Structure 1
């Protein structure tokens, strides 16, 4: 192995990249990243400590949004991460904070709202340019659905995202909660990643995943263990998952994450947690190798994602 190859196995801080090497927005990153939404559950000191621990564990990409904690999560990231850490911070737009509401966000899909969302992310992260911004749509998967002036054509949204890229405010464009036809429409724009709900028990987007693989687009599933909405099954409840975990001496949740990494080479993970022990377990899942027989048993688990209740 050459010195260049060896160095690519390590983050800028010298830690082995969690889960091995992945590519996101043209950069080499750890295949196991960190979804920062749960940081809003912590106080500032604990949140900073958790992020520093993530860096120590070999994580060098973090997924966030200004609407996570109404700027709190982004501000913590800005305080915790140092330039020498060289962590890729991925943000998103398409929603905005809704403090006191039944859920803590509401859609913000209009082009001017997307632009405002980019500006909010720039300010709260303390950046002049966002390396990658995901456009969070609301027409696919679990979650909110647009109504009234929040029903916006994808082409209009992509146009403003392209303008922001041309202006140098964002580096690359990703999509979230988008159907297959939406991704196909967006391909000429140069899409860096897709974030959709996807797990061992919720594989309705398999065709989209395969298109991403063919087009060298990173697949970054959210709800990677299911169970986040009523009607969405949990990966850890599957007998095949429990059997695999027992055989390999690991936790069922780790099997669910390891399966995703072995399923396709373009998959990156951003599991979120506010617990340092869970953070270590999520990171360690990137080192689990599932044998072919066990993998076949897991692949045979049927998808059961059709009865999700929208929240």
Structure 2
């Protein structure tokens, strides 16, 4: 039986299947009301890990979650990300890990989320133009000041994880990963060895038609949907995997959560594992 819970950093207990808020519309009126309803329904259904970021609408997504859920119920973890800014030559988003920028983004996130401390803060991208030690060191200092609790990273390599862990304890890694995209298998293996939570973004993505047909066949045998099979495979993949599927619809939210109850047989796992050929 796949465990349904995990302790991030050894003490923040969350349900392994979380919710990615990125897709929630934040514009006023009907779409926003639906987004608020989806966020509230997620918590009603027992989701305890909700992922957002400054990048998602320049903070609008964080404000939406605060409007929907504050004061946050006990046990609900809102994790956000900093380190992306409109600092490109044409105002486009790009990594910006300068200490002053990270500090300002954390302060703004605290205000938007209406909290005194962000229990899990993740660096959205490593800025190649700023020394890694300066970026990680700034987060370490913010933790020492009580502004953040645990520290995570996103879209990193095994080497970058090792370098960061020489500076500070890393509680989570958020890399792109799914049934058909396993480029970051080495990072997942490193996280599992270290007990670091691995939050796959884009946890459900379809590409090759043949692969999709095989997933659909497994789903039919289990009386499930292909999306549920993909999420069940992730939950089965490693005990440190915490998928955060996103949706703007309550019916899809409920469908995603039902994946927890799906039990893959060894034969099903073998068939799904074979859909990916290592590069």
Q: Counterpart in 1 of 2:75?
A: 86
Matches of 1:89 and 1:76, distance apart in 2: 12
Q: 1:254 to 1:235 in 2, by over 3 A?
A: farther
For residues 48-79 of structure 1, what are the alpha-carbon distances to aligned partners after superposition, in whole Å with 9 as ceiling and x for unaligned?
11111001111011101123122221112112
Matches of 1:126 and 1:277, distance apart in 2: 29
Matches of 1:272 and 1:133, distance apart in 2: 19
Q: Counterpart in 2 of 1:221?
A: 200
Query: How far is 1:235 from its partner?
Result: 9.1
Matches of 1:270 and 1:191, distance apart in 2: 19
User: Secondary structure at the residue paired with 1:224?
Assistant: coil
Say yes or no: does 1:263 pair with 2:237: yes
For residues 3-44 of structure 1, what are the alpha-carbon distances to aligned partners after superposition, in whole Å with 9 as ceiling and x for unaligned?
xxxxxxxxxxxxxxxx72122232111111111111135633
Q: Counterpart in 2 of 1:21?
A: 5
For residues 232-272 of structure 1, what are the alpha-carbon distances to aligned partners after superposition, in whole Å with 9 as ceiling and x for unaligned?
x3699533212111111111111111100001011101111
C-alpha contact 1:202 1:303 (8 A) present in aligned 2: no
Say yes or no: does 1:55 pair with 2:43: yes
Q: 1:225 to 1:262 in 2, by over 3 A?
A: same
Q: Counterpart in 1 of 2:108?
A: 120
Matches of 2:48 and 2:94, distance apart in 1: 29
Matches of 1:219 and 1:164, distance apart in 2: 22
Task: Select the residue among 166, 177, 180 that pairs with 1:198.
Answer: 177
Query: How far is 1:80 from its partner?
Result: 1.7
Q: Counterpart in 2 of 1:167?
A: 145
Say yes or no: does 1:30 pair with 2:15: yes
* TM-score, normalising length: structure 2: 0.89
Matches of 1:57 and 1:256, distance apart in 2: 20
Q: Counterpart in 1 of 2:54?
A: 66
Q: Counterpart in 2 of 1:40?
A: 25
C-alpha contact 1:225 1:234 (8 A) present in aligned 2: no
Q: Which moved more, 1:191-200 or 1:44-53?
A: 44-53
Matches of 1:236 and 1:277, distance apart in 2: 27
Q: Counterpart in 1 of 2:190?
A: 211
Matches of 2:150 and 2:78, distance apart in 1: 12
For residues 165-191 of structure 1, what are the alpha-carbon distances to aligned partners after superposition, in whole Å with 9 as ceiling and x for unaligned?
111100010010111100011123110
Query: How far is 1:108 from its partner?
Result: 2.2
| Structure 2: gaps (5+ residues) | none
Say yes or no: does 1:300 pair with 2:279: no
Matches of 2:49 and 2:209, distance apart in 1: 24
Task: Select the residue among 55, 64, 71 that pairs with 1:76.
Answer: 64
Matches of 2:94 and 2:186, distance apart in 1: 29
Q: Which moved more, 1:180-189 or 1:63-72?
A: 63-72
| Structure 1: gaps (5+ residues) | 1-18, 139-145, 228-232, 307-311
Q: 1:181 to 1:246 in 2, by over 3 A?
A: same
Matches of 2:139 and 2:110, distance apart in 1: 14
Instruction: After the TM superposition, list the runs of 4 or more consecutive aligned residues in structure 1 that deviate by more than 6 angstroms.
Output: none
C-alpha contact 2:54 2:84 (8 A) present in aligned 1: no
Q: How many residues align?
A: 270
Matches of 2:201 and 2:72, distance apart in 1: 27
Q: Counterpart in 1 of 2:165?
A: 187
For residues 82-140 of structure 1, what are the alpha-carbon distances to aligned partners after superposition, in whole Å with 9 as ceiling and x for unaligned?
33343101011111368xx897x3332222211111112111111111001111225xx
Q: 1:281 to 1:303 in 2, by over 3 A?
A: farther
